[in-house]
Structure 1
Amino acid sequence: MTETAPDFAAITAAQARIRDLVHRTPVISSGLLNEVTGADVHFKCENLQKVGAFKARGASNAVFGLTEAQAAGGVATHSSGNHGAALAQAARERGIAAHIVMPANAPAVKKAAVAAYGGLIIECEPTLAAREQTLERVVAATGAHVVHPYADPRVIAGQGTLALEVLEQVPDLDVLVVPVGGGGLLSGVALAVKHLRPDVEVVAAEPEGADDAFRSFGLGALQPSVAPRTIADGLLAGLGAINFGIIQRHVDTILTVSDAEIVQAMRLQWSRLKTVVEPSGAVSFAALLAHPERFRGRRVVAVISGGNLDLDNLPW
């Protein structure tokens, strides 16, 4: 894996590569939610994407961009859930093995999804160091090709294809709001948006309890993620260095939201949009609820990044 950031051409190449491998997800809206926010809000529904999350885009681009020699040993990664499921699904489509290192405390529903797509799960302690050390052992034993969840140019380019769809579906867009954890989605989307529509404001939304991207952006230097705690389990990863470089150049601002605001956003989306949204996927809408003055009177797309959660353990 190269550490060189992708360019816009890599995103358009990714779109061509994965066009028949992923869904073109819909954009939906609700008059009631427009009244609540005072904005003209549209939701990009990546919860309706394959594997229930945007991660299918980056994983498919990475897996189907491998040479036969690279793919021979299969692929491997560490993941708390959605990327692991997406990589397993893409690997199954290509007919190769997928080795997924997962923290022992990952949600059972996300482990089940990885297994359902044929991923071989290797559990580890719930720390970044344990994930990386376990992944190294897996690669040494199998010869698998590593596809990082977010700090991989092929993954970033794949995630950026979401923005190409949004700009076609909502051409008169003012603001695009995107959740941020490791930064794969945000960096790919921001790169594409600012290349095509530099006038569109790109806003990131992050949980207060896992705010390393917010701190890094404000201080102008990558800050460590220390003991993050948030209901948005898909956003616990620390911001990647390659992602941060793109975010510094192409993102306008990062806003934080509380877990209570995330739950409020989830409840409104479930009840008004009639769609299943996981906490991480509700963070973008939570930013509109928490900071209404920034969005009032503007046409906004909020990305629902995923819809995978334990229905027996909802946060209300």
Structure 2
Amino acid sequence: MENTNGTTDINFILLGLFNHTQIHLFLFAMVLMIFIISLMGNALMIILIHMEPRLHTPMYFLLSQLSLMDMMLVSTIVPKMAANYLTDTKFISPMGCGAQIFLFVTLGGGECFLLAAMSYDRYVAICHPLRYPILMNQRLCLLMTAGSWLLGVLDGLLQAGATLSFPYCHSRKINHFFCEAPSLVRLACADTKIFEFFMYICCILMLLIPFTLILASYSLILAAVIHMQSVAARKKAFTTCSSHLAVVGLFFGTTTFIYMRPKSYHSVNHDKVVSGFYTILTPVLNPLIYAVRNKEVKGVLSRWMEKHFT
């Protein structure tokens, strides 16, 4: 399967995550179940936030955007992986591969900055509660959300366009279960060192800048909480922030493991497992974390279930 004219007329081959043994068939069924739960959980979170007037606040608007990004992310990866596994056809077109890279990078980058916006929202709510309506107004909330999407889209366009511009004239077997830029670039029959360097710098910036903002916000929050006189207020602040910190830890921990390690430490099998964690498992954990740790969400959910199922 060779071609010297670029990537326009021959498909790539995704080697996938599972083979057809019994244990892998069970794991595949688990992935499908997680995918369905993820879609339902995030969709329910969006519906609850949209329908409940008490949740029409910047915090929950940002949370609804996080749920939307998670829904789109898992839908970018799992359906194609499932279709290839069930039909035993591992092909993906260059256009489909480019679309996966674009959507994956867009949603991953956008989520980094959205989590930073959510940490700023918690900082204002806890450290400047009386000025919250001014410092975290609707206009600023929309601007931060639009900025998160825009920065993600720009990064996605750059990485997808640059990755598909290389000629792929030898093996087109991608040792992954979806098209990810680093896995695809390894197959290019051209010098990709400059692109890989800039891609590495771009990933560091997309992770480091939001993470620095999150760290600064929570350092200020921690200082404010320590000086709180009321035990109840301190407990409420910790409860509110713990959900967001859990999501931040899951997302940044796994993405840092993939993109910021030295190249010599990369293992293809380990990378696939970790990629599966943050593309399939993390989107289902986010709504569960917020639903379990947030009293307002639990209250709205219980009232909604009583109304529709009793």
* TM-score range relative to shorter protein: under 0.3
Higher normalized strand content (fraction of residues)? 1
TM-score by length of 2: 0.27
Structure number with higher relative contact order (C-alpha < 8 Å, ≥ 6 residues apart): 2
- Higher CA-based Rg: 2
- TM normalised by structure 1 equals 0.26
Identify, as 1 or 2, the structure richer in helix: 2
